[in-house]
Structure 1
Amino acid sequence: MHSQTQTIDLSGQWGFQTDVMDFRRGSLSPRYNHKLQETITLPGITDDHKIGYKVPYKYIDRLTRKYEYMGPAWYQRDIEIPKEWKGKRIFMYFERTHWLSSIYVDTKEVSKIDYISVPHNHDLTEFVTPGKTHRFTVCIDNRFQYNTHKWNHAHTEFTQINWNGILGEIKLMAVDPVYIDDMQVYPNIADNSIKVKMQVNNYTNKDVTGTATFTINGQNYNLNKEIAVNGKDSIISFEDVIQLGKNIKLWDEFNPNVYKITCQLNTSVAKAKYQNEKSVDFGMREVKQGKNHVLVNNRPVHMRGTVENAVFPKTGYAPVDDAEWERILKIMKDYGMNHMRFHSWCPPAAAFRMADKLGIYFEVEMPMWGKDAEPDEARYNFFRREMRAILKEYGNHPSFVLYCNGNEITGNFDFIEELTATGREVDSRHLFSGSTARTRVKSDQYYVSQQTNKGPVKVYEGLPYTDWDRNKESDVDVPVISHESGQRCIYPDFREIDKYANSPVEARNFEVFRDMLEENGMLDQAHDFFKASGALTVVEYKAVIEALLRSSKSAGFQLLSINDFPGQGYAPVGILDPFWDSKGLVTAEKFRESCAPTVALLRYEKSSFFNNEVFTGKAEVYNFSNAAIKNAKIKWSLTDESGKTLKKGNLKTQNIGNDDVFPVGDFSIPLNGITSPQKLTVHLSVNDNVKNSWNIWVYPKNETLMTSTDDVLYTTVYDAKAKQQLAQGKKVVLLPMPNKVKGRKSTFHNHFWNPIMFAWPPMTIGCLIHDQEPVFDNFVTSYHTDWQWWDILENAKVIEMQDTPRELRPFLQVIDAYDSNKKLGIGFEANVNGGKLLVLAVDTQKKMDERPATRQLLESIDKYVKGDKFNPQVKVEESFIQSFLMK
């Protein structure tokens, strides 16, 4: 009996040469006619060897690749084909390459493959002679082979780079002429069986007889079955149902039971005997379309996910090793998520293996985006091949739950429907969708979007209250997942620059932003800007996620994203940096209070209160865990900033189901015992192990506001009286109406996505509160904005302050976009004409009886300016004051 598959590992040193002239296409003595004089180590990419154009630029809208190379590159090796391989099929296998790989044996082109998402497996049988040494010259061409969108994440320079090279396993393989080409496993959880669909390739041109012996192994599980195989066609297809028995276990996020099925094929052709073996991993998992949710094993799943945009600055390419994917997916799971969408690309096998192991649900896409559905038959055919290849290569993995063609597609949706319908027909183990966030097609089984025909399902930012959801908008004919939720921008952390020392890319844009900030006199505030804007983003993510958890008819959400997106303008929207390292903004434990299989939720109508009001909370429990909660003890409490419990109580002990969101009772807290302005925290717990909390602010009514005295003048206009007051060395509090102030719109939220790509006003990234200044002695605040600032900031105007002295820092400082870095403020103080001036560009007239936080800020300012601490030292010319006021 001939031995089965044999391999030669081809990793190591190869001959190498670039080809910017593209001699192959120009018929100008192509590289394969010569022995290549340079060398390169594979697996690897050209960037690892500093090959290409040494980039002198500092790209603003993305990380800068240190050495750019796009074009053909040639890799060469002389290999002796073992004489024992006579009669076998011989392949050269590249696990992942980018984009077109062509192989020349000696001086003849013999194979060409242009898949992006799956390995390239070149059949060289007819072109090599066992016992002979051949020169193999491989051309890798990373140029766009079709007119596809230049931002798709399989190729883009904006996240992973458009690398040239070969990654993962690189090997020469020999198999017997009767071998298993494909093995697909279709679980049936109703009767604990699997249907195995096999394709055997027969190159003998003769009748084949033999057996296929299946072995299934898992934890405490082993089963064997043998079936007969026979046929005479070049492709022999057969299938068989294997009963697995009662000891087989299901696969899901809570119980990721993975099994390995191995088929040993023993065949006879005339007097020759052949053997081949193939193994694949699978899980006993079925996915179906529910009314509002994806069903896994007939149970609703709520997708708590992030978008993976191929952000791998350490290497410049998606890792192909298990260890790195295990690290990434464990981090994601630590933050309470169970789902990852691969935006316009498909990950390598290691990602699927680790998701299988850890219980993560994947949505996989082709490298398809934007206008890729517009008519172009060559491009269409590429996508047709690519989709089938993805389903064949990765379809057995239980983690592969959802398939979508691509991102935000436009063009001919008849073609999108064709792809989607074909996918459903080819492989029923996944749910299929035509496109994210664009036109629906008939064959859609789920939909990822910002909007349905019933309204917006997107949640990009929070609100200062929680009694809202996206139920009505989500309740359509397919499960709806909220598209790219979150996206609140954080000021860059310039400390990250050093992390790129050994990467193929550098954060040179950070250097530009840093230098600009230094030129504008605020470099010493860089880290404060990062911390303050980052803290606000954490506040926003909590609100965004909880809104979607409250939405029981939502199928889930996909954050964009938990880690930074360093392209398309550079979008530092993550609580993790591009390396999947924590930014130090929030712990995984704290994040999980709002993002986990079981979360305590609370609906309430506002965050800021007068102390004669009553706080009312409506408690809910989001429970998409694997079990109901029996005899749940539900507790609530109110604590002050020191942690002292002011009030507490219990809701009715009750059973809480799972796979839904459950109201569990209401409670009210009179606030009349709060006599001083305070930040309080409302806590809710279930059986003491599920905990969540929300901050509220309580203020006295402060009946008397903005009362002038002989020493302090309150005014909304900078008139002769105000000037005279200052000239006399006295105090003026200028509270101009925002519509009378030149400047930018004020907003609570930090900028959406990033200010370079979406350059819409006001181009600001939250506020830095100088909370240690005495002006805030009677206004409870941290260094960053929280929901008590909502009313203040939504009724204010941002003053351009770049022309003031460098030492002047507004106490209420607005953080400008990092590609502008101007000094901005809503509140500041200065010495003007010998007098003491405090300016606050906040509306102090509109509905003041409904604005407790604004009233308290004015009260704090009043006590400050009427005390002896108000003594601004920085002198500002009167012309500056007049410059931002409308006449």
Structure 2
Amino acid sequence: MLRPQYTSTRELISLDGLWNFEIVKAALQCEHPWTNAISDKVQIPVPASYNDIFLDPEVRNHVGWVKYQRRVRIPPGWAGRRVYVRCDAATHRGRIYVNQDLIIDHEGGYTPFDADVTDIANAGEEFQLTIAVSNELSNETIPPGKIETLPDGRRKQTYLHDFFNYAGLARSVWLYCVPTTHISDITINTSVDWTRSLGRIEYQLDVQTDDTTADLCAKVSVRDENGEYVADSEGLKNAINIPSVQLWQPGAAYLYKVTIELSCKNNSVLDVYHVSTGVRTVEVRGDQFLINNKPFYFTGFGKHEDTPIRGKGFDASYMVHDFELMSWLGANSFRTSHYPYAEEILDYADRHGVVVIDETAANHPCVVMWSIANEPASHEPGAREYFAPLVQLTRELDERPVCFANFGLATSEKDRITDLFDVLCLNRYYGWYESCGDLKMAESELEKDLRGWHEKYGKPMIMTEYGADTIAGLHSATVTPWSEEFQAQLLALYHRVFDRVPGVVGEQVWSFSDFQTSQLVFRVDGNKKGIFTRDRKPKNAAQVLRRRWLLDGKGNREQ
């Protein structure tokens, strides 16, 4: 599914803004009149999670369905084209209704979906658009959870992940049109011939058409960042060579603009689509991770899409500021924890040379590795039978390295699946959850753990989570857990071990900023492991990271 885009053959309209909003009561969810008009007395912004917008705790803790509704007019000039409504995300299940008709029912809270409304709503006319969203979690959802009914009849959602179950339309909604014959998907892979400084872009186009007899062809051209012509090719599947290629580098991004023109032979252009891509290589060699044939050391964070009031709602201001803060620290990477992120974030990482360990199959030059699970029970019977086919499928779909984030109980002696993967990603909390406050013991246990992995597998290792909860403003001259000084001391401990153990190729602190969680006794207003507070104020540990990553050069891209 291609993202909506404005070109000479395509148009789109943002449906962001205020929508009429309604909570669907639990007793009505089975037989609710989903398409009835919603009063404009209660409205809510899109994109945003709905939980923290209002002050009513019943809205914040609601379990089940809500409805968004507005009127939409299709431009008269869209006649003769296919028209779609697209949701960039609906957490965790979304239904799109046009007037009285259910068009699509989608499951997967962080992935986009669209509905073809061409045959229901006419160009120039207005229709009622209703989007119903459910936040219910089960053993079959990602993330998983369960629902229990309390004695007073209320429904309570419990879950096994440590972030708040924000819900609603957290990303943009679009109305867009495409020609009846159009490009439906584009696959791009890049490689480099190092001996000739020659870049190569391989592409494959998928096309959707109502005319099965059409003799379709395509012209694919490449321009550099100055808009100058570089090379072109023809065909629905082919390759383009780029002489004297400018590489996409960590910290020094270079993006080529690929333009695809679909046409009938001896006829005018039917569809046009643009893709920005970078040419770079990724390779695991022994216990090294290489980007463009050079060893790369990951510095950065696990992050959440989480901000005050908006919850998981996409916010361009926060996005840009977060990238500025990462740059200030010398961070060169992050992991999309623990769900697919808004694609605007990956676009920004592409543009600024920030490396991403990704948890969704969005094809971006910034993405250097796929992570297919976070802290699974990889030491339990059945783990290998479950993960082996997933790894195989991932490799069939793409050539990038594959990893998963291992947790402490699945030690190198007990883990059953690590040999299937390219890179070891380890989440460890010695000194916090284990041996809390005993930094000497934590340092010894951490080093023993890492050396055990390296001796057994000899693969690159990234510490994808490490840290400690820290209350901003709590200070202590002694080793006091929860203080800012303790967080800084703990990170320094880990860094000493990383520098002593061979095969460590990266460190990503958990987490970039404090974030909201469910209401637990040990989670006072959320998880406090952030290097920044939830509103992005630095704690003392930020200076520890800045000295190591930026001033001392640990984040140097050519280490």
1:427 pairs with 2:403 = no
Deviation at 1:292, TM superposition (A): 0.6
Q: 1:582 aligns with which of 538, 543, 551?
A: 538
Name the structure 2 match of 1:59.
Answer: none
Where does 1:152-551 land on structure 2 (aligned, <5 Å)? Answer: 161-190=164-193, 191-219=198-226, 221-228=228-235, 238-246=236-244, 248-267=245-264, 275-317=270-312, 319-321=314-316, 323-365=317-359, 390-391=360-361, 394-395=362-363, 397-410=364-377, 412-428=383-399, 430-437=400-407, 438=410, 439-449=416-426, 463=440, 470=450, 473-475=453-455, 476-485=457-466, 487-491=467-471, 493=473, 533-551=483-501
Distance between the aligned counterparts of 2:101 and 2:490, measured in 1? Answer: 59
Deviation at 1:400, TM superposition (A): 0.9
Name the structure 1 match of 2:10.
Answer: 5
**1:62-100 superposed Cα distances (whole Å, 9 cap, x missing partner):** xxxx83333212222333334433331111012232121
Distance between the aligned counterparts of 1:349 and 1:433, measured in 2? Answer: 21
Where does 1:109-120 land on structure 2 (aligned, <5 Å)? Answer: 109-120=102-113
Instruction: Supply the AA of the counterpart residue of 1:433.
Output: C
Q: 1:70 aligns with which of 53, 63, 73?
A: 63
Q: 1:340 to 1:12 in 2, by over 3 A?
A: closer
Q: 2:35 aligns with which of 32, 40, 50?
A: 32
Distance between the aligned counterparts of 2:98 and 2:490, measured in 1? Answer: 58
The answer to whether the Cα contact below 8 Å between 2:288 and 2:295 also exists between their aligned partners in 1 is yes
Deviation at 1:145, TM superposition (A): 6.2
**1:655-703 superposed Cα distances (whole Å, 9 cap, x missing partner):** xxxx4xxxxxxxxxxxxxxxxxxxxxxxxxxxxxxxxxxxxxxxxxxxx
Distance between the aligned counterparts of 1:32 and 1:77, measured in 2? Answer: 11
Distance between the aligned counterparts of 1:210 and 1:265, measured in 2? Answer: 6
Deviation at 1:175, TM superposition (A): 0.7
Q: CA RMSD in A?
A: 3.7
**1:296-340 superposed Cα distances (whole Å, 9 cap, x missing partner):** 11222122232214443352115342x422321332232232221
In terms of mean alpha carbon deviation, does 310-319 or 168-177 score higher? 310-319
Q: Gaps (5+ residues) in structure 2?
A: 1-6, 146-157, 411-415, 429-434
Instruction: Supply the AA of the counterpart residue of 2:79.
Output: K
The answer to whether the Cα contact below 8 Å between 2:91 and 2:170 also exists between their aligned partners in 1 is no
Distance between the aligned counterparts of 1:10 and 1:565, measured in 2? Answer: 28
**1:771-809 superposed Cα distances (whole Å, 9 cap, x missing partner):** xxxxxxxxxxxxxxxxxxxxxxxxxxxxxxxxxxxxxxx
Instruction: Supply the AA of the counterpart residue of 1:490.
Output: T
**1:259-279 superposed Cα distances (whole Å, 9 cap, x missing partner):** 33222323369x8x5532222
Give % identity. Answer: 17
Distance between the aligned counterparts of 2:357 and 2:508, measured in 1? Answer: 10
The answer to whether the Cα contact below 8 Å between 2:108 and 2:141 also exists between their aligned partners in 1 is no
Distance between the aligned counterparts of 1:352 and 1:225, measured in 2? Answer: 26
SS at match of 2:119: helix
Instruction: Supply the AA of the counterpart residue of 1:488.
Output: A
Distance between the aligned counterparts of 2:477 and 2:309, measured in 1? Answer: 23
- Structure 1 length as normaliser, TM-score? 0.52
The answer to whether the Cα contact below 8 Å between 1:167 and 1:320 also exists between their aligned partners in 2 is no
**1:383-406 superposed Cα distances (whole Å, 9 cap, x missing partner):** xxxxxxx32xx21x1211121112
Distance between the aligned counterparts of 2:101 and 2:349, measured in 1? Answer: 41
Deviation at 1:582, TM superposition (A): 0.7
Deviation at 1:343, TM superposition (A): 2.6
Distance between the aligned counterparts of 1:303 and 1:548, measured in 2? Answer: 12
1:54 pairs with 2:57 = yes
SS at match of 1:572: coil
Instruction: Supply the AA of the counterpart residue of 2:31.
Output: S
Deviation at 1:471, TM superposition (A): 5.1
Quick one: higher RCO (CA 8 Å, sep 6+), 1 or 2? Answer: 2
Deviation at 1:623, TM superposition (A): 8.6
Distance between the aligned counterparts of 1:141 and 1:623, measured in 2? Answer: 42
Instruction: Supply the AA of the counterpart residue of 2:532.
Output: L
Q: 1:300 to 1:22 in 2, by over 3 A?
A: farther
The answer to whether the Cα contact below 8 Å between 1:291 and 1:478 also exists between their aligned partners in 2 is yes
Q: 1:315 to 1:130 in 2, by over 3 A?
A: closer
Q: 1:133 to 1:537 in 2, by over 3 A?
A: closer
The answer to whether the Cα contact below 8 Å between 1:159 and 1:312 also exists between their aligned partners in 2 is no
Distance between the aligned counterparts of 2:210 and 2:458, measured in 1? Answer: 48
Q: 1:160 to 1:204 in 2, by over 3 A?
A: farther
1:43 pairs with 2:13 = no
Deviation at 1:444, TM superposition (A): 0.9
SS at match of 1:478: coil
**1:720-758 superposed Cα distances (whole Å, 9 cap, x missing partner):** xxxxxxxxxxxxxxxxxxxxxxxxxxxxxxxxxxxxxxx
Distance between the aligned counterparts of 2:541 and 2:104, measured in 1? Answer: 51
Deviation at 1:556, TM superposition (A): 2.0
Count of residues in Structure 1 that have an aligned counterpart in Structure 2: 509
The answer to whether the Cα contact below 8 Å between 1:420 and 1:434 also exists between their aligned partners in 2 is no
SS at match of 1:595: helix
Deviation at 1:466, TM superposition (A): 9.6
**1:622-672 superposed Cα distances (whole Å, 9 cap, x missing partner):** 79543xxxxxxxxxxxxxxxxxxxxxxxxxxxxxxxx4xxxxxxxxxxxxx
Deviation at 1:459, TM superposition (A): 13
1:138 pairs with 2:134 = no
Q: Gaps (5+ residues) in structure 1?
A: 56-65, 229-237, 366-389, 452-457, 495-524, 600-621, 627-658, 660-887
The answer to whether the Cα contact below 8 Å between 1:97 and 1:164 also exists between their aligned partners in 2 is yes
Name the structure 1 match of 2:545.
Answer: 591
Q: 1:555 to 1:460 in 2, by over 3 A?
A: farther
Distance between the aligned counterparts of 1:551 and 1:77, measured in 2? Answer: 58
Instruction: Supply the AA of the counterpart residue of 1:296.
Output: I
**1:135-170 superposed Cα distances (whole Å, 9 cap, x missing partner):** 222212222265346679xx9798664333324432
The answer to whether the Cα contact below 8 Å between 1:491 and 1:533 also exists between their aligned partners in 2 is yes
Q: 1:472 to 1:165 in 2, by over 3 A?
A: closer
Distance between the aligned counterparts of 1:465 and 1:36, measured in 2? Answer: 58
The answer to whether the Cα contact below 8 Å between 2:262 and 2:271 also exists between their aligned partners in 1 is yes
Deviation at 1:548, TM superposition (A): 0.5
Distance between the aligned counterparts of 1:326 and 1:227, measured in 2? Answer: 37
Deviation at 1:182, TM superposition (A): 1.5
- Computing the radius of gyration from Cα coordinates, the structure with the larger value is 1
In terms of mean alpha carbon deviation, does 471-480 or 4-13 score higher? 471-480
SS at match of 1:352: helix
Where does 1:611-760 land on structure 2 (aligned, <5 Å)? Answer: 625-626=557-558, 659=559
Distance between the aligned counterparts of 2:126 and 2:451, measured in 1? Answer: 67
The answer to whether the Cα contact below 8 Å between 1:259 and 1:283 also exists between their aligned partners in 2 is yes
Deviation at 1:181, TM superposition (A): 1.4
Q: 1:161 to 1:226 in 2, by over 3 A?
A: same
Q: 1:459 to 1:163 in 2, by over 3 A?
A: closer
Instruction: Supply the AA of the counterpart residue of 1:42.
Output: V
Distance between the aligned counterparts of 2:443 and 2:134, measured in 1? Answer: 52
The answer to whether the Cα contact below 8 Å between 2:108 and 2:142 also exists between their aligned partners in 1 is no
Q: 1:54 to 1:442 in 2, by over 3 A?
A: same
Instruction: Supply the AA of the counterpart residue of 2:398.
Output: D
Distance between the aligned counterparts of 1:137 and 1:536, measured in 2? Answer: 50
